[in-house]
Amino acid sequence: MMTESQSTNKTRVLWLALILFTVYESYRYPLQINASGTSSTYSDTPLALQAGKFLLACPLFALAGVQCFRKSAPLKRWLIAGCALFLGIFALLKSIGDPTGHYVESTFWMLLALVLAWSVDSVRISAIDRYLRFLLIYAVGSTLIEVVLFVTVGRLPALAWEGGLSIRFGGFLDDPNGFAAILFLLTGWSYVRFRGWRCFLIIAAITVMLLLTQSWTAIGFFVLVAFIWTLRAVSKRPLVTALTIGVFAFSILFIIHETALSPSELVQTFLANKRGSVAGHTFSLTEWGAKWSEWVMFGESTYTPFESWPARAIFNFGAAWSFVFFGITAAVIISMRRAFSSAGREIRPVYFGILLFGYYFVFGSLNLPFPAIFPINFMFFLFAFLVTFGKIHSDSCTAEWARNIPLLHPSVEGLQK
């Protein structure tokens, strides 16, 4: 049986990668580096910083890969690995005609997440819990700094123009859309992890941060989740439900009051500011349908960065590649749902956070290219593969017992301390 110290050593590469890539792009806000087209005060990200994350990932990829060769695995896990390898090789071949790296980036972080999840014997639930606590504090702290500096000295975040209403705060990522995805990971975990006033205050803080992103996709998903939650909770927790609705209503009224505009003027101004963003998320089906024979098999010869991921995947990679990619995504989402449904009390908060994160990853990808947005793509696939491969266990669970958990049906018997 493997000792505790041996199991801990094998997870160090995974945790180094997760923490490193979570905070990697924190240079954006203090250095005002992102994309010059999104703000008058920002400059484009230098090539060295763009390539830096890949250079850091390569040795971690190699270290984890060595551990993978020493492990046996069920047939279904090999099937997922084979499909992911097909996606990576296909993207690499496509990149020969496009040296920008867009094709490779769409699969690189999935493959790294796969290798890291495969290489470990088990990941303790307490370790993930500590990581999520850090993530919550980092998200709240970074957002608070951005808001205070904006209010006091007019310091603009990345997606903002002076004098406009569309001032979008993206936390430590300085990316509202990506940051909103992380907020759903924290929402699911916090809602099950905490109780009483602590839970209410944390969810309220996350809700305010979500509104500050001004991400229509995220807010739409939040409204959908809130509606479903309200239907289930109103009879069980009427006071908490009323307080939550009150905070949401107060936030809207506060925004209207501070802008000194009537509700109709506010809506019109906001829509005008968002018109350019909406245009970037649409594409012409008629135009692409007319030349379907050029992209249906292997995708277009030149990479086109559609905002909608299904359009980006199909038109750039073709139908076969897209079918395999969507199949892997569906498989891990089903696995995450089954794992949460059978999870014990100790694991349930983390599983619910991962599940809500997964749901939003799929929902948001209809309008945003999440599989190509770093570090959201890496975080999603890492957590998804950890759940799918049955690698997340309570502190009382041994690595030897863990290896007997079947793929897509992780048992949680004996998880309670």
Say which amino acid occupies 116: L
Say which amino acid occupies 25: E
Chain CA centroid to CA 384, Å: 11
Nearest to 186 by CA among 132, 240, 124, 248: 132
- The DSSP H or E segment spanning 243 is helix 238-259
Q: Cα(110)–Cα(378) distance, rounded to whole angstroms?
A: 6
- Give, in order, the Cα–Cα distances in Å from 89 to each of 63, 95, 226: 20, 10, 41
Q: Read out DSSP for 337-366?
A: HHHHHT--TTTHHHHHHHHHHHHHHHHHHT
Q: What is the pLDDT at residue 65? A: 82
Query: What is the pTM assigned to this prediction?
Result: 0.82
Backbone angles phi, psi at 108, to 5 degrees: -60, -45
CB atoms within 10 A of CB 138: 16
Q: How many CA atoms lie within 13 A of 49 on its CB side?
A: 14
Nearest to 291 by CA among 300, 283, 282: 300
Q: What is the pLDDT at residue 301? A: 73
Backbone angles phi, psi at 394, to 5 degrees: -70, 165
Helix 348-365 and helix 216-233, axial crossing angle in degrees, nearest 10: 130
Q: What is the pLDDT at residue 247? A: 67
| Residue whose tokens read 């940051």 | 179
Q: Cα(259)–Cα(265) distance, rounded to whole angstroms?
A: 10
Within the chain, what is the greatest distance between any pair of CA atoms? 68
User: 154-187: buried (b, 16+ CB within 10 Å) or exposed (e) per residue?
Assistant: ebbbbbbeeeebbbbbbbbbbbbbbbbbbbbbbb
What are the domain boundaries of the chain? 4-402
Tell me the β-bridge partners of 124.
393
Q: What is the pLDDT at residue 402? A: 38
Q: Cα(270)–Cα(273) distance, rounded to whole angstroms?
A: 5
Query: For every one of its 417 residues, what pLDDT tens digit does the chain have, with 9 covering 90 and above?
Result: 444 544 555 788 999 999 999 999 999 999 988 876 777 778 888 888 888 999 999 999 988 888 777 676 777 788 888 999 999 998 888 888 776 778 888 889 999 999 999 988 889 999 999 999 999 999 999 999 999 999 998 888 888 777 666 788 999 999 999 999 999 999 999 999 998 889 989 999 999 999 999 888 899 899 888 878 777 766 566 666 666 667 666 666 665 555 554 555 544 544 454 444 444 445 555 555 555 556 667 777 778 788 889 888 888 888 889 999 999 999 999 999 999 988 888 889 999 999 999 999 999 999 899 999 999 999 999 999 999 998 888 776 433 333 433 333 333 333 333
Say if strands 392-393 and 43-44 run parallel, antiparallel, or are unpaired.
unpaired
Write out the two tokens for 148: 């205070």
Backbone CA torsion sign across 94, 97, 102, 104: positive
